[in-house]
Structures are given as structure tokens and as C-alpha cells.
Amino acid sequence: MTTGHVNLPNSPHPHEPPHPPEPSHPHEPPEPPEPHEPPEPHEPPEPCRPAPPAPSSPGPVRRALRIVAVAATLPYLTLKTMWVAGSHVGIPEGSILREGTLFFAVANGATLLMDAFLVVLVLALTQPWGLRIPSWLMAVPAFVAMGLLTPILTAFPLQQLLRLFGTAPDAAERAAREPFLDPWVFNVVYTGFSIQALALAALFVPYARQRWGHLWRQGAGPVRGARAVAVPAAAGALALAAIQTYWAFGGTGGMTAAMLAQRSADTVMIGAVHAACALAGGAGALLLAFGGGRGGGGGRPARGPLALAWVGGAAAASWGAWLSLAVLAPPPGGDPEMAPTGVLQLAYAGQMITGLLVAVVVTRFLTARRPG
């Protein structure tokens, strides 16, 4: 079998020896070959970033929860709108809320906007465009909303149980106290808040799992940069729990005359819930910072410590900030004995700072797992 011959360019004849290249001039030596340049070092590829989650339309369950959450805001929004307009519905005679001061006007307007913004947050959690909003712009409002609603969701049902067992203040005892709001207002508003809290949590969890779940599923060691923050956060939580325990067992130091007059099983329950939230946030921060919440690699999953830090820290920060603003209100009747004490102001500020420190640990934990 014969094969065709392929002539390569500048190749010698197969039967002739190769000839050396002739110099360009008979008296000049050939130019030396150019030195071989080493190849450029290979740059390592950039770390792979997780693809952004694909937007998807909400299913029937999430649509139903969205309707429930929005409907639960209507009682509070209606009452606040009426109060801003000058109505006294639900406000008894002699209540400080009837004084019509600038502070309460601003407070009513601010809380009206806060609950209205919850509607926007619920829509963002259930619409495809909500996944395109910057992470911080979704996380911060959700952190504040869940922080304000969690103690209500916890304390309000417990207060109703106290009433069933007869340990809550009776009608005569409540009537003897300084009037503030009609009892039905608390029942209607706090029931709505509790429904909002449940619906918001049910909507936020799948959203967070879809958008940020890859961060807490990654295996990693302790977050060393957060240890210096987690320790004072836990110390602040212990201090707050100690103060609430002191008040629960009859201590009066740092309390105002109004607090002493209003003290009951209900107020003790509220204080215990705030202390428990702060302790949960401090414990979660320690677990995240020192590696107790390692995900993957055989370690314990990070979901539990992260949930403790998120919920507990949010409650401490949000309610600490809210109570710090509330004590700025003028005392009833201008009585200086009703003015907040320095201990009370310090306790509320410490509660807020504790929650913010926990938030820093959560942020550091998540950003440490972000590639790149």
C-alpha cells in the first residue's frame, strides 16, 4: 500500500543530510537564537461564588401566609390612624395619652409607619423582586421586626395563661391603677402582633434558607474575629438577667414609682421574657464565635446557635432601643418622682448594646463564610 508524500515547509529531502543555515553574510557568524522566555506564572482561578438564587413565584402556602400577615396589621394600623387624626378610641379618661403632647404624636406616627413597613417586608419576602434587594436592606428590617414581635409572641400567651389560673391582676386591681389604654385594645393589638410574628417567621425562614443558606451550611472553624465581641455580649445578657431576677423577687432599686404601682405577675413575666431573650442571644453569640456552631466537617450544625443569636439578639437590641426612647417621654403630670431613674436608663441602654453586639457576631459569622 502506498501513501502520499507530504512535503513539510523548509524540511530537507529524506535522502539528504540536513544543511546548517547559511549566515546572512559570508564573514559574519550566525545570530544566536533568542533566549527562551519562561512561561508566565499561572494565576489561580478566582474562588467560585455561589450563583444567586433564581427568583420564583410564591406557592399557595406562602400566598396564604402573606394575606394573613397583612390582615393582622389592620387593627393596629386602624387604631394608630385614628389616634393620629385626634380620636380617643380605646384611650380612657385620665390617660396620659389624652394630653396630646408632641412626643406621643411623633410616637404614634412612627409606630404607624413601622407597622405599615411590615407590609412592604412581607411583600418582599414573597415576591421574586425581593431576592434582588441588597442583603443588608432585607436583613436589617427583618431583624428589627422579629426582635420587636418575639417578646410579644412569647409573653402575651403566657399572660393569658396567668389569667386562667387567677394569678394575673383582677379587674378591680387594674381599675385602681393609673389608666393608660382600655383592656380590649391590648387584646386586639397584641393578638394581631402575635399573628404577625408567626406569619413573618414562616415567611422569613424559607427566604433566608434560599438566599443565605449556603453560608451557614459551610464547614468552618471558630470565628476568631468575633470572640472579643461575643464575650461582652454574654456578660451584658447575664447582667440584664440578674437585674430582672432582682426585680422579679421584689427588689425596688432603680424602679420608678409608676413601675412599682404597676408591678404584677404580668410585668414580672415580661421582664423574664426579656431576660430569656438576652440570654439566648448571648449563648448563641458564644457558640458562633468559639466554634460551637460549626457547620459540616462533623461539627454541630450552625442553624441552632445562629437562630438563638438572631432571635435573642434582635429582641434585646430592638426592645432596648424602644425602651430607651420610651423613657424620654415626659413623666405623668410632670411629677419628678415618675421620671425614669439612672439605673433604668442604664439597664435599657445595656439591653440595646447587648443585642447590637450579638448582631455583630452574627454578621461576622456569616461574612467569614462568604467566598472571596
Q: In this model, does residue 202 exceed pLDDT 90?
A: yes
Residue with cell 522566555: 37
Please state, as a whole number, how many other Cβ atoms lie within 10 Å of the Cβ of residue 208: 18
Q: Do residues 217 and 296 lie in contact, with contact meaning Cβ atoms separated by under 8 Å?
A: yes
Cell of 19: 544543511
pTM summary value? 0.80
Render pLDDT for 141-185 as a digit per residue (tens, 0 to 9): 999 999 999 999 999 999 998 888 877 665 555 655 667 899 999
State the Cα–Cα distance between residues 163 and 166, nearest whole angstrom.
5
Record the cell numbers describing residue 182, joined without a space: 382600655
Q: Are 151 and 274 contacting, i.e. CB atoms less than 8 angstroms apart?
A: yes
* 3-state SS assignment for residue 365: helix
- Give the span between the Cα atoms of 162 and 268, in whole angstroms: 11
- The share of the chain scoring above pLDDT 70, in percent, equals 74
- DSSP 8-state code for residue 46: P
Asked whether 218 and 301 are in contact (CB, 8 A), the reply is no
The pLDDT assigned to 221 comes to 57
Across all residues in the chain, what is the average pLDDT? 82
- Above pLDDT 90, what percent of the chain? 54
- Give the pLDDT of residue 173: 59
270 CB-contact burial (10 Å; exposed 0-12 / middle 13-18 / buried 19+): buried
Alpha carbon distance 215, 370 (integer Å)? 6
Per-residue buried b or exposed e for 215-243, using 16+ beta carbons within 10 Å of the residue's own CB? bbebebebbeebbebbbebbebbebbbeb
User: Whole-angstrom Cα distance, residue 119 to residue 76?
Assistant: 12
pLDDT of residue 179: 76
**Predicted pLDDT of residue 346:** 94
**What is the per-residue pLDDT across 20-64, written as a single tens digit (0 to 9) for each?**
444 444 444 455 555 554 444 444 444 444 444 554 567 899 999
Spatial contact of 282 and 223, defined as CB atoms under 8 Å apart: no
List, in order, residues 6 or more apart from 20 with CB less than 8 Å away: none
Structure confidence at residue 222 (pLDDT) = 67
pLDDT at res. 261: 83
